[in-house]
């Protein structure tokens, strides 16, 4: 299992219209929402129309001292059926990591948007306008990754091994 470097990590909930972003603290224990970027591209894949998004990401990465990316991939639909668009997410993540010159780990974003909707306070929900929850979904995604990589305690104390996660997929596909 690959582990991203020490320091601040950025979580990404990539979508056709919006990208939810979150960041961890430098100790990689806690994630918090950062922002939502709006895409103008016609498809899920990273394209030339995403240059403004890439510039915004580069600025945020510099401002927050990001050392690695956690890219959400919906491996399965809510129904449990495999998502046929997984390869597009994987390709987009790989291209994004290369363009931003950062190491990348994939993490199953399964149901993060549903969980984010449940956590959104009901009083802040507007019946006439659907509020974006993408940054909250990115936070749930990143916190899941961080939790899966906390150190496992052995009988002797900290043994230094990262916890295993059945939902993580490394950038190398192993």
Q: Is there a domain that residue 2 lies in? A: no
Q: Is there a domain that residue 149 lies in? A: yes
Q: Is there a domain that residue 112 lies in? A: yes
Kindly tell me the burial class for residue 92, based on how many C-beta atoms sit within 10 Å of its own C-beta (0-12, 13-18, 19 or more): buried
**Number of domains forming the structure of the chain:** 1
Q: Is there a domain that residue 124 lies in? A: yes
**Per-residue confidence (pLDDT) for residue 75, from 0 to 100:** 83
3-state secondary structure of 110: coil
The rounded distance, in Å, linking the Cα atoms of 114 and 128 is 19
Q: Is there a domain that residue 1 lies in? A: no
The rounded distance, in Å, linking the Cα atoms of 68 and 91 is 17
The rounded distance, in Å, linking the Cα atoms of 135 and 126 is 18
Q: Residue 80: give its domain's CATH number.
A: 3.30.420.140
How long is the chain? Answer: 174
**Per-residue confidence (pLDDT) for residue 161, from 0 to 100:** 43
**Can you tell me which residue has the tokens 């390709």?**
91
What lies within 8 Å, CB to CB, of 92 at 6+ separation is 14, 44, 45, 46, 71
Q: Is there a domain that residue 31 lies in? A: yes
For residue 111, the enclosing domain spans 8-169
What lies within 8 Å, CB to CB, of 158 at 6+ separation is 151
The rounded distance, in Å, linking the Cα atoms of 50 and 122 is 33
Q: Is there a domain that residue 174 lies in? A: no
Q: Is 58 left (phi over 0), alpha (psi -120 to 50) or beta?
A: alpha
The rounded distance, in Å, linking the Cα atoms of 172 and 2 is 8
Q: Is there a domain that residue 3 lies in? A: no
Per-residue pLDDT of the chain (174 residues; tens, 9 = 90+): 467 999 999 999 998 899 999 999 999 999 999 999 999 878 888 888 899 999 999 999 999 999 999 999 988 877 778 888 889 999 999 999 999 999 999 998 876 666 666 666 655 545 444 557 889 999 999 999 999 887 432 233 444 444 444 344 444 444
């Amino acid at each position: 299992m690959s582990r991203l470097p020490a320091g601040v990590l950025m979580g990404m909930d990539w979508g056709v219209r919006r990208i939810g972003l979150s960041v961890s603290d430098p100790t990689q224990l806690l994630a918090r929402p950062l922002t939502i970027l709006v895409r103008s591209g016609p498809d899920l894949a990273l394209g030339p129309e995403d240059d403004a998004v890439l510039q915004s990401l580069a600025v945020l990465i510099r401002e927050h001292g990001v050392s690695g990316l956690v890219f959400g991939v919906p491996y399965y639909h809510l129904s449990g059926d495999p998502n046929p668009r997984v390869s597009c997410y994987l390709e987009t993540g790989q291209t994004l990591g290369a363009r931003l010159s950062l190491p990348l780990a994939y993490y199953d974003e399964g149901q993060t948007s549903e969980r984010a909707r449940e956590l959104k306070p009901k009083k802040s929900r507007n019946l006439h306008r659907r509020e974006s929850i993408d940054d909250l979904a990115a936070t749930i995604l990143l916190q899941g990754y961080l939790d899966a990589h906390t150190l496992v305690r052995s009988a002797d104390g900290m043994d230094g091994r990262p916890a295993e996660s059945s939902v993580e997929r490394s950038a190398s596909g192993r």
